[in-house]
């Protein structure tokens, strides 16, 4: 079923729900302009969009109409939105998200594509680009650049804490809301998102449970990550990204990634540049037009995006 999306001064956009099978899972996605891209060459490369932790594909609803000349797939990570959860007893590890995304672009049959990732999706996007540099033609990372780093001396403690949390997880211990509006206001307060995009995120992310509303997200998403790359490894990964990369950060910056680490990672990229805009951690939802202008210019190699 198509869902019309309208926005001033942008192309009208019809979204379709799609299920994409990857090994062991079925992932959900919101797609636009996808079928024409499968029928033959198109002047506009397709875009894969990967959302942040505890978000869903609706994270990109404000941005997608501004990119409407391109075929687009906003993929939902396992355990998020309408995607399946991982089997019992499994962690949600960064490299598993990467494997899912790689399998998804294979299932879509994309030889070349653009990649946009926000937060967790940005970390996944950088690793996808390092894994298949010949296929990712341009990369945009919103709020972040590569995964969060860990220190080797912490690895035993991290693994022990993660295993204990996985063993003791209570899938029935979920936050319950009396109304959708209550959940929307909670999201607005927590993430400083404008109410309209927050509502889109929340409505896609909730499900009915008797007289209450609960999140569709897997409770295991809150478990400590059992292993992280160290900063040296991450910078080596940055050096393996061959395409041009645009990193978009909030102004003032959010504390997700220390600025010193960010600058070193940016310098490690063969073709990296950054820009800062207001809007907080979800700046792509609060200021989509401004971000889209920078993204289209980046995709066009610095030429006029119109």
Residue 124 CB neighbours (<10 A): 29
Tokens encoding 18: 């799609």
Q: β-strand 272-277 against 3-5: which pairing, if any?
A: unpaired
What span, in angstroms and rounded, lies between the C-alpha atoms of 31 and 10?
A: 17
Question: Which is catalytic among the residues 2, 9, 59, 119?
Answer: 119
Active site residue 7: no
* Contact predicate 143/122, CB 8 Å: yes
> Can you spell out the DSSP letters for the chain?
--EEE--TTS--EEEEEEEEEETTEEEEEEEESHHHHHHS--SS--EEEE--TT--GGGGTTTGGGGTTS-EEEEPPTTSTTSPPPPTT----HHHHHHHHHHHHHHHT-SSEEEEEETHHHHHHHHHHHHSTTTEEEEEEES-SSPPP--GGGHHHHHHHHHHHHHH--TT---EESSHHHHHHHHHHHH---HHHHHHHHHHHEEEETTEEEE-S-GGGGSPPS----HHHHHHHHHT--SEEEEEEESSPPTTS-HHHHHHHHHHSTTEEEEEESS-TTHHHHSHHHHHHHHHHHHTTTS---
Residues belonging to the active site: 119
């Amino acid at each position: 079923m198509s869902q019309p999306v309208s926005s001033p001064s942008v192309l009208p956009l019809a979204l379709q729900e799609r299920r994409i099978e990857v090994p062991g899972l079925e992932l959900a996605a919101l797609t636009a302009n996808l079928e024409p891209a499968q029928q033959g060459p198109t002047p506009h490369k397709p875009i894969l969009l990967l959302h942040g932790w505890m978000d869903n594909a609706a994270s990109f609803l404000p941005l997608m109409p501004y990119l409407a000349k391109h075929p687009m797939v906003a993929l939902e990570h396992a355990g998020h939105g309408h995607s399946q959860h991982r089997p019992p007893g499994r962690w949600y590890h960064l490299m598993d998200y990467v494997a899912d995304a790689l399998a998804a672009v294979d299932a879509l049959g994309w030889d070349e594509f653009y990649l946009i990732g926000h937060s967790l999706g940005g970390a996944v996007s950088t690793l996808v680009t390092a894994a298949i540099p010949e296929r990712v033609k341009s990369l945009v990372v919103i709020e972040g650049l590569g995964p969060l780093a860990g220190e080797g001396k912490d690895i035993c403690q991290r693994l022990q804490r993660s295993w204990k949390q996985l063993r003791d997880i209570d899938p029935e211990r979920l936050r319950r809301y009396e109304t959708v509006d209550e959940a929307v206001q909670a999201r607005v307060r927590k993430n400083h998102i404008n109410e309209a995009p927050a509502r889109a995120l929340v409505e896609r992310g909730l499900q009915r449970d008797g007289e209450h509303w609960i999140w569709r997200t897997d409770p295991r998403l809150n478990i400590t990550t059992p292993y992280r790359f160290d900063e040296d490894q991450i910078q080596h990964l940055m050096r393996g990204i061959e395409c041009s990369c645009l990193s978009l950060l909030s102004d003032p910056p959010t504390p997700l990634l220390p600025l010193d680490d960010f600058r070193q990672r940016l310098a490690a990229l063969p073709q990296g540049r950054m820009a800062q805009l207001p809007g907080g951690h979800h700046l792509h939802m609060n200021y989509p037009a401004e971000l889209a202008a920078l993204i289209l210019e980046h995709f066009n190699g610095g030429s006029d995006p119109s």
